[in-house]
Amino acid sequence: MRTSYQSVVPFVTKDGSEIRELMHPAVHGSRNQSLAEATVQPGATTALHRHIVTEEIYHITHGEGVMMLGDACFAVVAGDTICIVPGTPHCIANTGCSPLRIICSCAPAYAHDDTELL
């Protein structure tokens, strides 16, 4: 299965980030995971949240920010990769002047019902 970036219509998730669902079982036929690009605008912060079942991996592709992950808070820049285990509270703030872009891999696939705002 192939997905063209231009064909994916972005939407806003519960945490407030803009998402392009690049591959998702409900749409593209993948089985156990989803892959998306999240965009956080300059000065914006996603809502603090956690996923009960889903493990996420963030890979920062553009920009800079501050990640809150459980009790830790640390700077992130393009090239960084973060693993978010299920149940861990997290959010990310864009501290730069350009959009913060993050590739998000979720297993099992992302589901709104698995997102709990804190």
* pLDDT of 25 over the 80 cut: no
Structural domain that includes position 105 = 16-117
Summarize pLDDT for 58-89 with one digit per residue, the tens.
999 999 999 999 999 999 999 999 999 999 99
The pLDDT-based confidence of 15 (bands split at 50, 70, 90) is confident
Longest CA pairwise span in the chain (Å): 39
Task: State which amino acid sits at residue 48.
Answer: L
Question: Is pTM beyond 0.95 here?
Answer: no
113 is a domain residue: yes
Number of domains observed in the structure of the chain: 1
36 is a domain residue: yes
The pLDDT-based confidence of 49 (bands split at 50, 70, 90) is very high
